[in-house]
Amino acid sequence: MGFGPHLLLATLEGLVTAAVLALTALGLSLVFGVMRIVNVAHGEFFMLGAVIAWGVASMVTGNPALGFVAALVVSPLVVGAVAFLSERLVLRRLDYNPESTIVATIGLLYLIQQAALTFYGPEARPVEAPFNLRIQFPWFGYSGYKLFVIIAAIVLLTIVWVVLTRTRIGLIMRATQIDREMARAFAIPVERVYAGVFALGAMLAAIAAVLIVPIQQAHYLMGLDPLLLSFIVVIIGGLGSLRGTLVAALIIGVSDGIIAMFFSPTLAKMIATAAVALVLVFRPQGLFGTASR
């Protein structure tokens, strides 16, 4: 295979990674930006999304697209509800104290993971892709569904962007992010905003998981990788900066695809981690973050 096709394949693979990563990391970034807490259980919401997608898809018979669409609707709702409950029952009682919430979300991570192992089991289970299309390039074949994932992610990210910048809900969220006390003074129900944002962050992870589950299978340990990569993306992009998150996801995803293919996957991970270290040293607020006041 020549250099050109090789690069094309690497870029396509990188874009798929970037698409899913952007959605997942956006959820993490949103929660941090608005609530100022680090949600270590974010990867488990991702996993839960995939597991529930499998559950829903296996209950719906007939065309696999029906099961997939059902999963795309039900799974984020259920995961959002779980996140909402854990915010009400745990995080709020800790008064969103940064240290306590880290420990609490670590606990949440184990709870969700072990619950999945107990009720879902240790197997990796696939969800059928909504359509089976294989695109034959002159040099290699590629999954049509993967291209769909890239497009779907772009659409979803645009929707989130519009909601955040053009709607009243987005305005309230941004207001809470910028100044919690002032928002409260303007009668914004800050705690309800927090609960909503936490649920929304988890739902984004769940949507990403539903998109990925026809490519990778649902498995109870699948949450770790997205969590680590999301942290890398969010740190490089700037905690709380949505634009930064998207740019960083694109950089990490595509460079991971290309470096992994031309050199080695381990090198790709090393470079990503080194980038985090460099960003932390030279630009601690991230590429697009604003310095803390």
Partner 1 sequence: MTKKSSIILPSTSISRRSALKGIAAAGTFAAAPGFVRYAQAQSSAPIKIGFQAHKTGIGAAYGRWYERTTTAAVKAINAAGGINGRPIEIITEDDGTDPKRGAEVVAKLATQHQCDVVYGTLFSHVVVASAPVAGELKIPYFVVSEGYHVASGKLNRYCFQPGITDVRSQVTAMAPWVSGNLGKKVTMIFPDYAFGHDHRDYFTPAIKAAGGEVIAQIPIPPTESSFTKYFPQIPAETEVLYHVMVGPAVLTFVKELGEFYGSNKPQLFGFIDSLEAVDINSPGLEFLDGSHFWEGCPRYTQANDSEAMKAYRAAVGIDDNGAAVGDPKDVSTAAHMFGCWETLYVIKQAMEAAGYQGPADRAKLVEATEAIQGFEEGPEHPQGDKVFDGKLHQVYGHQNISKVEGGKLKVVHRTEIKDGMYEAEGDYTQQAL
In what helix (H) or strand (E) does residue 135 lie, and over which residues does it extend? strand 134-136
49 belongs to the binding site for partner 1 (CB under 8 A): no
Minimum CB separation from partner 1 for residue 134, in Å? 6
Options 25-33, 135-143, 171-179, 274-282: segment touching partner 1 (CB under 8 A) = 135-143
Q: In this chain, which of 60, 115, 150, 215 binds partner 1, going by CB under 8 A?
A: 215
Residue span binding partner 1 (CB under 8 A) among the ranges 34-42, 73-81, 126-134, 284-292: 126-134
Is residue 107 part of the contact set for partner 1 (CB under 8 A)?
no
- Dihedral angle computed from the Cα positions of residues 157, 162, 167 and 172, in that order, rounded to the nearest 10 degrees: 50
> Binding residues for partner 1, how many (CB under 8 A)?
36
What is the rounded CA–CA span in Å between residue 218 and residue 58?
A: 12
Task: Tell me the C-alpha distance between 44 and 8, whole Å.
Answer: 32
Site for partner 1 in 56-75 (CB under 8 A): 64
Of the candidate residues 4, 89, 95, 134, the single one contacting partner 1 (CB under 8 A) = 134
Q: With CB under 8 A as the contact rule, which of the stretches 153-161, 199-207, 217-225, 233-241 interacts with partner 1? A: 217-225
- Beta carbon nearer to partner 1, 9 or 279: 9
CA distances from 196 to 109, 161, 162 (A): 20, 16, 17
Task: Note whether 170 binds partner 1 by CB under 8 A.
Answer: no
Contact yes or no for 38/46 (Cβ under 8 A): no
Q: Applying CB under 8 A, does 17 fall inside the site for partner 1?
A: yes
Distance CA 207, CA 54 (A): 13
Residue 258 CB, nearest approach to partner 1 (Å): 9
β-partners of residue 136 are: 141
Among 94, 107, 126, 271, binds partner 1 (CB under 8 A): 126
The residue (of 62 and 122) whose beta carbon lies closer to partner 1 is: 122
State the first-to-last Cα distance of the chain, in angstroms, to the nearest integer: 53
What DSSP string describes 41-66? THHHHHHHHHHHHHHHHHHS-S-HHH
Distances (CA, A) of 284 to 18, 101, 276: 23, 22, 9
Q: Measured in whole angstroms, how far is the alpha carbon of residue 61 from the centre of its chain?
A: 28
Using CB under 8 A, which of the segments 33-41, 74-82, 127-135, 241-249 binds partner 1?
127-135
- One-letter amino acid for residue 208 of the chain: A
Pick the closer one to partner 1 by CB: 261 or 271: 261
Separation of alpha carbons 87 and 90, rounded Å: 5
Q: Which two tokens stand for residue 155?
A: 């659409």
- 123 near partner 1, judged by CB under 8 A: yes
Structural element, H or E, at residue 27: helix 3-35
The distance of closest approach from Cβ of residue 13 to partner 1 in the complex, given in angstroms and rounded to an integer, is 5
Interface positions, 258-287, toward partner 1 (CB under 8 A) = 260-261, 265-266
Q: Per rule CB under 8 A, is residue 140 in the interface with partner 1?
A: yes
99 lines the binding site for partner 1 (CB under 8 A) = no
- What residues line the site for partner 1 (CB under 8 A)? 1, 5-6, 9-10, 13, 16-17, 64, 117, 121-124, 126, 128-129, 134, 136, 140-143, 215-217, 219-222, 225, 257, 260-261, 265-266
